[in-house]
């Protein structure tokens, strides 16, 4: 069978949820390097605007001397609450109005509060489901009809290796990422059945060096990856479409091999490499800032409402 020719990404238009920081920001940067146009949406609209300005400035700095500046920015920022279907629709419509019909939609937004299930509040459970599950559903429901009608498009759902296993200390988070993996697989099957030429990629990183994973303990055998690693893996999946996108790639091999073992064997390996403790024994002090921000990722908070803040040492 002939090897599939990599797709040219120059001029393609992408939208990224949760694009103001972390993996979303680095994915936007990687897309811009490929010559794509990018819309980033985030609940923190001010930070999204700042991110867009910084990434556009980086792009401008790489422009050859004497080259004419572009007629319009290559990246734009928009307010986005992924838990609200109307907000997702407004984001997509604004992106397409300003940049053109979307070729790529990256369901990136997500939160990961840590703690045991018995200590987790009902509010935290609801928030994780609203963002990590319903946010992905709202994004897919908004863009897939557009992709099917146009006969092209690529939906990228950012899950996690936690979507292939249960990791102590993040029970609800693992459940939400299992959902993203299962949803992505079912959507891929439905699109194939319908003969729709729309691609789906499910991105499953190991622990990523972002604020979300602050304080997580190292595991043996699977190194932490950077947001840039994840971004490059997504770019590769756009060039040569594939469903399973493990970061690092070795994680896919490990998951496959471990998956054929009986439960006692799988759990024994998890203990041997420390995967059973990586989240449940995370450094709470290192996570305080993130946990506070994740706790406030609540669409019911009104703009301008006084929020709790951390004080040095407090």
Residues noted as catalytic = 173
162 closest CA partner among 153, 150, 171:
171
Q: Which of 225, 246, 47 shows the shortest CA–CA distance to 163?
A: 246
* Helical axes 263-273 vs 250-259, angle rounded to 10°: 140
What's the chain's length in residues? Answer: 314
Cβ–Cβ under 8 Å, residues 234 and 27: yes
Cβ distance 14 to 107 under 8 Å?
Answer: no
Closest CA to 124 of 297, 246, 4: 297
How many other β-carbons are positioned within 10 Å of the β-carbon of residue 229? Answer: 19
**Among 9, 1, 56, 2, which residue's Cα sits nearest to residue 31?**
9
What's the burial of 227, exposed, middle or buried (CB within 10 Å: 0-12/13-18/19+)?
A: buried
Are 25 and 19 in contact, with CB atoms under 8 Å apart? yes
């Amino acid at each position: 069978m002939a090897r599939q020719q990599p797709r040219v990404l120059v001029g393609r238009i992408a939208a990224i949820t949760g694009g103001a920081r972390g993996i979303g920001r680095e994915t936007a940067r990687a897309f811009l390097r490929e010559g794509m146009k990018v819309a980033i949406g985030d609940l923190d609209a001010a930070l999204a605007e700042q991110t867009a300005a910084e990434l556009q400035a980086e792009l401008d700095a790489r422009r050859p001397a004497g080259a004419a500046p572009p007629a319009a920015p290559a990246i734009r920022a928009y307010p986005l609450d992924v838990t609200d279907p109307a907000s997702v629709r407004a984001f997509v419509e604004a992106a397409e109005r300003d940049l053109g019909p979307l070729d790529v939609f990256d369901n990136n937004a997500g939160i990961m509060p840590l703690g045991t299930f018995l200590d987790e509040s009902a509010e935290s459970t609801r928030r994780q489901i609203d963002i990590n599950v319903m946010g992905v559903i709202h994004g897919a429901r908004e863009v897939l009809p557009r992709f099917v009608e146009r006969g092209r498009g690529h939906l990228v759902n950012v899950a996690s290796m936690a979507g292939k296993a249960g990791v102590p200390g993040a029970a609800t988070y693992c459940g939400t990422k299992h959902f993203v993996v299962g949803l992505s697989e079912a959507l891929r099957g439905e699109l194939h059945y319908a003969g729709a030429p729309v691609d789906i990629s499910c991105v499953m990183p190991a622990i990523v060096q972002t604020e979300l994973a602050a304080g997580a303990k190292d595991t043996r055998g699977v190194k932490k990856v950077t947001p840039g690693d994840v971004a490059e893996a997504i770019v590769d999946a756009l060039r040569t479409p594939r469903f399973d996108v493990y970061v690092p790639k070795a994680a896919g091999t490990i998951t496959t091999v471990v998956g054929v073992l009986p439960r006692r064997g799988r759990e024994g390996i998890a203990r041997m490499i420390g995967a059973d403790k990586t989240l449940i024994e995370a450094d709470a002090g290192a996570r305080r800032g993130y946990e506070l921000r994740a706790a406030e990722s609540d669409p019911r908070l009104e703009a301008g409402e006084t929020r709790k803040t951390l004080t040095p040492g407090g």
